[in-house]
Amino acid sequence: MSADRRAWIVVALGALGAVALWNWRGTWNKPGATMEAAITLVTSDREDLSCGLDQAIGSLRCPYQTSGAPATPPVDRRDRLAPYMTVSRQMLLVPALFDQPAIAARYQQEPPAGVPRQQLRRFVAHCRLRLIDTVDSLMVRWVPSATWSPASNAWVAQPTDCRVEN
């Protein structure tokens, strides 16, 4: 085999290796992917947590705009996004999380009505979520009496299955 041909074979093999190495970057969450998340909750979160965002993600929306004004028209409860934090401090915007049977059952065990928030027992919901899109910046509010605060980098995700760890 001529030296020229051997040199070209080296280049071709190098190119093949380059393609494989270029793609060796691991996997991370992408739209359409499913992720597992451990979400930290108290039962009053169902009513307390709220977000402000001007854009809609499909039919999903925050109940407020970033200015703090209510979204118009009002968002259907099943499409209403709310901010939740995972135990690793990642923010997720999830619609109707408390409609998940396990979380709804946990809610029934400890209704928050009339109980100060700090006396409610915190629990963790292990949920499987289908990732829809990311939101770069939004406003969040953790209790209705609090002021809005800016937040960034949140995934909008649809819960598909949850179990509760007490």
Partner 1 sequence: MLGADAPLAVVLLAMIALGLFLRVYHLGVPAALKWDEHHYVETARSYLHHQYAWNDHPPLSKLIIAAFMWALGDGPVVWRLPSLLFGLIDIALVAALAGRLFASRRAAFIAAAFVAADGFFIAYSRTALLDGMIVGFALAAMLCVLSGRTVWHALAAGVCVGCATSFKLNGLVFVAAATAACLCSRSLRRWTPVLLLAAALVFYAQCAVALINVGRSGSILSVIHENREMVRHHLSYTVVHPYSSHWYTWFLPLKPIFLRRDVGADGSVHALLALGNPILWWAATAAVITAAVVVIRTGPRRVWQQLTEGAGPAPAIAGAAPDNQAGMFFWVLAAWAGPIVFWIPSLRDSFIYHYMPSYAFALPLLAGFVDRLYGRWRIPTLIAIVLVAEATIIYAPLWGELSISEAAMRARLFPGWR
Token code pair at residue 139: 């406003």
Question: How many CB atoms are located within 10 Å of the residue 22 CB?
Answer: 8
Q: For partner 1, which residue of 55, 109, 153, 160 counts as binding (CB under 8 A)?
A: 153
Size of interface with partner 1, in residues (CB under 8 A)? 29
Q: Taking CB under 8 A as the rule, does residue 134 contact partner 1? A: yes
| Cα distances (angstroms) measured from residue 69 to each of 8, 64, 83, 111, 117 | 65, 6, 17, 28, 25
Return the bridge partners of 92, or none.
Answer: 84, 155
Q: Which of 49, 140, 154, 164 binds partner 1 (CB under 8 A)?
A: 154
CB under 8 A: which stretch of 56-64, 115-123, 142-150, 153-161 binds partner 1?
153-161
- List the x/- string, 86-115, binding to partner 1 by CB under 8 A: ----xx------------------------
Residue type, 121: R
Two structure tokens written together for 70: 């209510």
Q: Does 69 bind partner 1 (CB under 8 A)?
A: no
Number of residues written out for the chain? 166
**x/- contact string, 3-42, with partner 1 (CB under 8 A)?**
xx-xxx-xx-xx--xx--xx-xxxxxxx----x-------
Q: CB burial class (10 A; 0-12, 13-18, 19+) of residue 92?
A: buried
| Binding positions for partner 1, rule: CB under 8 A | 3-4, 6-8, 10-11, 13-14, 17-18, 21-22, 24-30, 35, 90-91, 131, 134-135, 153-155
